[in-house]
Structure 1
Amino acid sequence: MTASDGLAAALRQAAEQRGCDIGLPPWATEATGIETRRGYLSVDAVTERRRLFRLRVHIPDFGWTIGSTDDLGTLVEAIAAWREGVPLDELKARFDFLELDGFRRALEAGEPTAAQWAALLSSEYYRGQRSLLRRLHADDVLRSTFPTMTHRAVRLRVDPMYWMSRQVLVHEPEEGRYEVRRVRGPAPDWAEVSGDDLIAVLRAALYDDH
């Protein structure tokens, strides 16, 4: 690893040797934030053992260790397969260092989404947004989206694992007045929405084809 000028460079070198695309930008100096449809991947060297590399997957406020190995070649192949969307069962069969049970159980139980709602609703820091959060959480469709906060606006994302999935921002600049903005799409500016229409507008922005 020293000869390769750090872990990120070593991963790129191993990926090139194996013919793998691991999505690590050429300018990256650390092996963190590798974008995938199932969260961000990161690699770090476990300090207790010089040649053991730990693979983790992250979404906002959540992270899972999904395996450790001392084989960089196998590691980059697993990262490339993860990025390609290979099913979890197949990943486990191909890469026996992966430990996916905890990650799979959390997703199947909806734990990250439910826990994130609970954390935001109970947060004193976001007390000013609590009324809006409660209103959104009360809707059974919007409750299934993954919420985060962006400059005091609530961001709702359809797929908690994929940062590019459909998402929308909703802001309550004053009580009873709402503004909505699609993060991507044909309407980049804030649009004022009445309280009566808020839930329908958010549902349409997140789930209707357009």
Structure 2
Amino acid sequence: MTASDGLAAALRQEAERRGCDIGLPPWATEAVGIETTRGYLSVDTTTGEGLFRLRVHIPDFGWDIGATGDLGTLVEAIAAWREGQPADVLTARFDFLRLDEFTRALDAGEPTAAQWATLLSSEYYRGQRNLLRRLHADEVLRNTFPTMTHRTVRLRVDPMYWMSRQVLVHEPEEGRYEVKCVRGPASDWTEVAGDGLVAALRAALYDDH
């Protein structure tokens, strides 16, 4: 890899040698932000293990999907992922890949429902469960993609778009809520009465400002 002037260059050279399109721009000096229809891919090396770790990212969310010491196998897996090969095909072809339930939901185009299910069943976020249930009960809000940021719920209209409209919801004490638009003219926390929470979130996420 040293002779190839870094990981990004090594990946490009190996992909060219194998006839693979891994989508890594010629100007990139790091193997991050490889764009695909199923999120962004990144590659880094594991300290002391001699492995190349593959990760997938969507906004505010990233996770490992496997590691291998074979650079050629890695570039073939990246190319196959970018081509849209199904999760079952990928795991059958590349035994280093570990595609979890969320990855498969992403593959099926259904990441939002899977993410809600994960958060609602999580013991780690038990303290936010009532708030999550209230948001999920609304037929509009349940179609937004939820993540947690320091025990605060983040709702995003489009899970795959970095600049998608999004809002933060915090419950500092039971029945009292604070809302903050992440992008747009409103940047401060605004206290919202409990009976107006859903309407305020709908307006922040979908109304034109």
Q: Which amino acid aligns with 2:161?
A: Y
Shift of the 37–158 alpha-carbon distance from structure 1 to 2, 3 Å rule, reads farther
Aligned pair 1:101/2:104, yes or no? no
- CA shift, 1:57, in A, is 3.7
Q: Which amino acid aligns with 2:105?
A: A
**Cα distance in 2, alignment partners of residues 100 and 180 from structure 1:** 40
What percent identity do the matched residue pairs reach?
71
Q: Is the 8 A contact 1:37 1:162 kept in 2?
A: no
Shift of the 118–74 alpha-carbon distance from structure 1 to 2, 3 Å rule, reads closer
TM-score, normalising length from structure 1? Answer: 0.65
Q: Is the 8 A contact 2:37 2:84 kept in 1?
A: no
> 1:196 is paired with a residue of what secondary structure?
helix
Q: Is the 8 A contact 1:113 1:144 kept in 2?
A: yes
**Cα distance in 2, alignment partners of residues 177 and 4 from structure 1:** 57
> 2:194 is paired with a residue of what secondary structure?
coil
Shift of the 107–203 alpha-carbon distance from structure 1 to 2, 3 Å rule, reads same
> 1:5-24 maps to which residues of 2 (within 5 A)?
5-10=5-10, 22=25
TM-score, normalising length from structure 2? Answer: 0.66
Structure 2 unmatched ranges of 5 or more: 16-22, 89-102
**Cα distance in 1, alignment partners of residues 73 and 108 from structure 2:** 32
Number of equivalenced pairs: 181
**Cα distance in 2, alignment partners of residues 203 and 193 from structure 1:** 13
Structure 1 unmatched ranges of 5 or more: 79-94
Cα deviation digits, residues 140-182 of structure 1 (max 9, x gap): 1111111110011100111112232111100000111110111
**Cα distance in 2, alignment partners of residues 206 and 193 from structure 1:** 15
Shift of the 199–54 alpha-carbon distance from structure 1 to 2, 3 Å rule, reads same
Q: Name the Cα RMSD after superposition.
A: 4.1
> 1:133 is paired with a residue of what secondary structure?
helix
In the other structure, the counterpart of 2:206 is 207
